[in-house]
Amino acid sequence: MADDKRNILLLSKDDLNAFLKRISAKAYIANQIYNWIFKKFVFNFDEMLNISKDMRAILKSEFYFDLPEISTIQKSNDGTKKYLLKLKDGMFIEMVLIPNLKKNTVCISSQVGCARNCNFCATAKLGLVRNLTVAEIVGQILLVSGDLFPNKLTNIVFMGMGEPLDNYDNVVESIRFINREDTLLFSPRRITISTSGVIPGIERLANENLNVKLAVSLNSAINEKRDEIMPINTTYPLEKLKNQLLNFRKKSNFRITFEYIMIANFNMSNSDIKALRKFVGDISCKINLIPWNPVENLPYKSPSKHEIENFRNKLSENLNFAITLRNSRGQDIDAACGQLVAKKISRER
């Protein structure tokens, strides 16, 4: 009867209560189960020791734990951990945990591959294979929370594989799910959705009343250049993107973060800086500068320390925004931005 089993991880409390009532079991068992799963991150009925053995047997025959399988974990010298996760259909995704002082941030995937084809990014080379389900998105968060326990996951960024706004419904449903009081009570303010600039998705998100943070991968404020590295710009060019961001900003409490990958000899000249300053000038925002991380077989070059400093200094002259430089973490394990390509996929192909 395995096919009839339900995923206990996404079951609503009402459904669980209804089940317990149907078999004439005590209602408080639902709380016990939820405590084990969402407070202690135990994903196995056998370990739920305050529940009777007979009851555990019944639960096992009725429900299962639908989680991606951890295929490998690589640990970087700087504490960053990369998980290669195997999904039920044999596909792989990656997830990265970035501990930093008191913060534990996880970078999760929203799709297997990506359709947006940014030509500096490793994930793009896979093309879009499929969207992740809600169970697969929530599953990543539960797995990493379990691995961290008793420490806590504090932040979530949708900056792994995929374009989250191309999998809008499942991403939003996952965020609403983990925000529930009976699950993780994880605040949307500690979640960042990063987009390559999917305007209709940004518009929907503005009206969603969700209170998540938004990051936009800008990478150039000059249309011709952005067209060249991010084909999405030919559909949603900079002026339209900017209008939508101004609209989003009106409805959100949080400043938008612009991510700008610095590529040597491409988007770091004085005219690039001028265009960038003009573009962000009237949007209250933060700018996150990211040195391009090398990806195999791509023709780009990472900037030198000197070029980075120079760019940063010129950009920040009389500009009242926070400009941060993302120091690339986990480079020794290919976990840094854009390197999130499940190498195993290519090996198995």
Active site residues: 94, 337
- To the nearest 5 percent, what fractions of the chain are helix, strand and coil? 40, 20, 40
In terms of CB distance, is 63 or 120 closer to ligand SAH? Answer: 120
Closest CA to 215 of 139, 290, 152: 290
| In the complex, minimum distance from the CB of residue 25 to ligand SAH, in angstroms, rounded to a whole number | 44
At closest approach, how far in Å is the CB of 339 from ligand SAH?
Answer: 7
Tell me how far, at minimum, the Cβ of 347 lies from ligand SAH, in Å. 20
Using CB under 6 A as the criterion, which residues of the chain lie in contact with ligand SAH when the complex forms? 120-121, 159, 163, 194-196, 217, 219, 259, 261, 290, 292-293, 295, 337-338
Pure H helices in the chain: 13-22, 28-34, 53-62, 134-148, 168-179, 199-206, 223-229, 232-235, 238-251, 270-280, 305-316, 343-348
- Those residues with Cβ within 8 angstroms of residue 235's Cβ, 6 or more apart along the chain or in another chain: none
Cβ 89 to ligand SAH, closest distance in Å? Answer: 22
Q: Which residues contact 35 (CB under 8 A, 6 or more apart)?
A: none
* Range 5-32 burial, b when 16+ CB lie within 10 A, else e: eebbbbbeeeebbebbeeeebeeebbee
Structural tokens at position 99: 């501990």
**Closest separation in Å from C-beta 195 to ligand SAH:** 5
Distance CA 192, CA 186 (A): 12
Q: Which amino acid is at 41?
A: F
Contact 50, 310 (CB under 8 A): no
Do residues 253 and 213 lie in contact, with contact meaning Cβ atoms separated by under 8 Å? no
Would you say 289 and 311 are in contact if contact means Cβ atoms under 8 Å apart? yes
| CB of 183 or CB of 192, closer to ligand SAH | 192
Cβ nearer to ligand SAH, comparing 104 with 328: 328
